Structure 1
Amino acid sequence: MPELPEVETVRRGLAALVIGKTISRVTVTLGRIIRTPDDVEQFKLMLEGLILDEVSRRGKYLLLGVGPYTLVSHLRMEGRYGLYRAEDPVEKHTHVIFHFTDGTELRYKDVRQFGTMDLVPRGDFSSLPGLQSLGPEPLDESFTSEVFAGQVRKRRSGKMKVLLLDQTFVAGLGNIYVDEVLFQSGVHPETAAPQLSDEQVTRMHAAIVDVLRRSVELGGSSIKSYVNGYGQEGGMQHQLRVYGMERTPCPQCGVEIVKTRVAGRGTHFCPVCQPEPKA
């Protein structure tokens, strides 16, 4: 958390709230959040007086266009943004504040302190291998069934649960939506890529697009602490069919949902609707 739908929801909120604002100064109270440049004071000086003119996304990364730079923000586990008035009390675990000339502030809060920020030349991500190596963007029109099938057929091994979590395979999916995608496509999480039929590959592609689009429409899933740029929770958690539903009846067949671990990740599935792959 957050995954693609949550980051996209944050992106949309920030685009409506902060585009066109001018940064007067920046406050950083936890230096390790700032990775690039490696001098926090330089980071602050580089942003002073610049206009925040774009908010985009790639996978789980937020990309904020600021003058000649792109601020790459990776929220990781619990990073969140919110727009406040300068006189509003600063909450605990607020580590970066972008002060705007109009008296408002964009504040970054991160209880777990795993989030990162990199300020790089506009559109130049060569110093960020994690961003550069991302796989196809699943909500982009270019992510066709044929493209996904090509990704699958290149893999001679690998459980689908693990592959779908691999950001170089498909960008933006995390544990919640991988479980939902596998259930919707009727594929057991331990099915290896070569074991998939053409029909299963087609179903899985459709499930990826459908699950992510529905979640974006509902503002993402507020499983733990996620809220959007307005401080509002998402609604997708009320429509999850298997994730977090262990020991409850499967919505399709009524058999109890099982929770296990695949590659160290908690994994939810229906043993009837998602039969084990044949050896």
Structure 2
Amino acid sequence: MPEIAEISRIVHYLKKHAVGKTISAVKTQEDDIVYGKVGTSASAFQKAMTGKKILDARQQGKYFWLIMDSAPHPLMHFGMSGWMKFSNDDTAYYRPAKPEASEWPPKYWKFILQLKEEPKCEVAFVDPRRLARIRLVDAKAEDMRKTTPLKENGPDPVIDKDILTVDWLSKKLRSKKVPVKALLLDQANISGIGNWVGDEVMYQARLHPEQYSNTFNDEQIKRLHDAIMYVCDTAVETLAESDKFPEDWLMKYRWSKGKKEASQLPNGAKITFLKVGGRTSAIVPSVQKKTAAVAGDVSEGAEDDNGEEEVKPKKGTKRKAAAVKDEEVADKKAAKPTRTRKATKEVKEESNEEEEEPEPVAKKVKKATDGIAKKGKKAQEADVKAEGTTEHRRSGRLSK
């Protein structure tokens, strides 16, 4: 999912190719989710943008918007898979471009802005999963961050350093009792931190992501603050290009979960995975120690094989989340295919087609059937049922 760094990258390219240009025409595709969920429509967007000049592109966390020469201004969020593409530049994406990336118009486009001035360029908003959001905000450009949903989101670590101070962070952490990474992922607290940035912050701070936010001391909070600033600034400055990230970053080695070669850092430190705030988190147990309660009422225990302190539940309490367990085991279980009703039926039918009814059973059924006339009807039916069922269980089929 695009986070603070990836959004800074798209803002960079919007400033490079779109800012200062006039929108000569707008193509849209109606989508009652991408537009409709936030009270806009494709037709309203088309009408509002056509003929307007783009004055600037700005960002707050995972949100970004265009400043037009008059309101309304388009405010956008990529969701899980949204992005913007440029007809004259296929380097805007933060991952290596695929061969089909040069196709125009691109797949899954929601709107295309045709820009008037040279060099000619079209800008397309794409989203294959329809989790992105496009809305119009009728406000003054300088008041955009005072409107919903931006005003409900926390400060941005890059542009709001005067707000996101060590003291501010300390008060925020101690005002809640939640796993610290869950607090970081909540955009109402801090804007822009997503899963990989959150993991990197916790690793650089040498803190455990499951530890309760209100259990950190002043020195740990200072480390956390420094890590937030360092990771976000570096990621934004490099425009989310992982090749330019420091070699000691966890981010470079966290993606191939479950693969043997990716289970450790270059220095040999083991990487494990656990769930925090509903998200899979990568941690390095040898350096990210638990120093207080995590994910429930717990007591200190022995150390595990990796030298990490093991936390055990107290009697009479239930642990809300497992502390430092290898998520690979859980994922392997989850990865086992489950048969749908249709698949189960097909398997049964396939099994029946492969098996042949044993000859002795067929002969016995025929003999039993021929003898019905000589015996009482009810007694013989019982005999056939009993004899036939006993034998037929071996083949898994029912005879008629």
* TM-score calculated relative to the size of structure 2: 0.61
Q: Does 1:190 align with 2:210?
A: yes
User: 1:55 matched to which residue of 2?
Assistant: 57
Which of 192, 197, 219 is 2:239 aligned to? 219
Task: Output the CA distance in 2 between the equivalents of 1:268 and 1:53.
Answer: 40
1:125 Cα deviation from its structure 2 partner:
5.4
User: 2:283 matched to which residue of 1?
Assistant: 269
Distance 1:213 1:91, change over 3 A: same
User: 1:12 matched to which residue of 2?
Assistant: 12
Q: Please give the secondary structure, in 2, of the residue aligned with 1:10.
A: helix
Q: Please give the secondary structure, in 1, of the residue aligned with 2:202.
A: helix
Distance 1:137 1:45, change over 3 A: same
Higher helix share: 2
1:187 Cα deviation from its structure 2 partner:
0.8
Q: How does 1:27-176 map to 2 (within 5 A)?
A: 27-32=27-32, 33-35=34-36, 38-68=40-70, 69-84=72-87, 89-102=104-117, 103-121=120-138, 122-123=140-141, 129-139=148-158, 140-142=160-162, 143-155=164-176, 157-176=177-196
1:210 Cα deviation from its structure 2 partner:
0.5
What CA deviation, in whole Å up to 9, does each residue of 1:79-116 have, x standing for no partner? 1112225xx73122122101122342111111222111
Distance 1:183 1:93, change over 3 A: same
What CA deviation, in whole Å up to 9, does each residue of 1:209-236 have, x standing for no partner? 10111112222157xxxxxxxxxxx744
Letter in 2 for 1:109: V
Distance 1:173 1:221, change over 3 A: farther
1:20 Cα deviation from its structure 2 partner:
1.1
Task: Output the CA distance in 2 between the equivalents of 1:113 and 1:237.
Answer: 33
Distance 1:170 1:249, change over 3 A: same
Which shifted more, 125-134 or 262-271? 125-134
Q: Please give the secondary structure, in 1, of the residue aligned with 2:87.
A: strand
Letter in 1 for 2:170: A
1:42 Cα deviation from its structure 2 partner:
2.5
1:34 Cα deviation from its structure 2 partner:
2.1
1:245 Cα deviation from its structure 2 partner:
6.2
Identity %: 27
* TM-score calculated relative to the size of structure 1: 0.86
Paired residue total: 265
Letter in 2 for 1:261: K
Q: Which runs of 5+ in 2 are unaligned?
A: 89-102, 293-298, 300-400
Which structure has the higher relative contact order (CA within 8 Å, separation 6+)? 1
Q: Please give the secondary structure, in 2, of the residue aligned with 1:31.
A: coil
Distance 1:255 1:240, change over 3 A: closer
Moved >3 Å (runs of 4+): 35-39, 122-130, 234-240
